[in-house]
């Protein structure tokens, strides 16, 4: 099976594809979709939508996993903008007929590291260790978070965890 983890953002949407084979995880592809802050919102959402749609077609994805929306009361506009990006991704999934799942960040961290609170560097280290990849230093954490989402989904549905 192939899982596409997506860390949505209006400026940068990270994604990571993992495949499972005999309970072994393998990184198939990872990257990000970048939009220009100077462009209109509609153009940026179209870029995200078309990017995700292309990935879904090219890699024969079985399930898409997004982080649940968390909104801090001090930053309501940020939550709205993130909601727009998530909407474009959800539409791409619905039109492609791909299964869709979402998890809270603490659940993802607990699945990957055994605890619900971890730093971005801890997540990146575990992702690299489990997948046997070395991410470049300039790779945004959005990509690492996307891979972590895909890994967490595998652990949750199979009830297997990296840490006991």
Q: Which residues are catalytic?
A: 7, 67, 142
DSSP-based three-state secondary structure for 84? helix
The total of other beta-carbon atoms located within 10 Å of residue 8's CB is: 25
Sheet with 2-7, side-by-side order of all strands: 24-34, 12-21, 2-7, 63-67, 99-103
């Amino acid at each position: 099976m192939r899982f596409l983890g997506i860390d949505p953002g209006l400026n940068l949407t990270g994604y990571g594809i993992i495949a499972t084979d005999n309970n072994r995880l393998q990184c198939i592809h990872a990257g990000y979709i970048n939009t220009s802050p100077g462009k209109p919102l509609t153009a940026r959402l179209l870029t995200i939508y078309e990017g995700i749609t292309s990935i879904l077609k090219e890699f024969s994805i079985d399930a898409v996993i997004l982080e649940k929306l968390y909104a801090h009361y001090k930053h309501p506009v940020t939550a709205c903008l993130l909601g727009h990006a998530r909407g474009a991704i959800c539409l791409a999934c619905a039109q492609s007929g791909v299964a869709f799942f979402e998890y809270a960040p603490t659940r993802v961290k607990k699945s990957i590291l055994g605890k619900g609170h971890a730093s971005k560097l801890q997540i990146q280290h575990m992702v690299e260790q489990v997948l046997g990849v070395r991410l470049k230093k300039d790779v945004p954490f959005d990509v690492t978070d996307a891979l972590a989402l895909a890994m967490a989904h595998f652990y949750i549905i199979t009830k297997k965890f990296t840490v006991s």
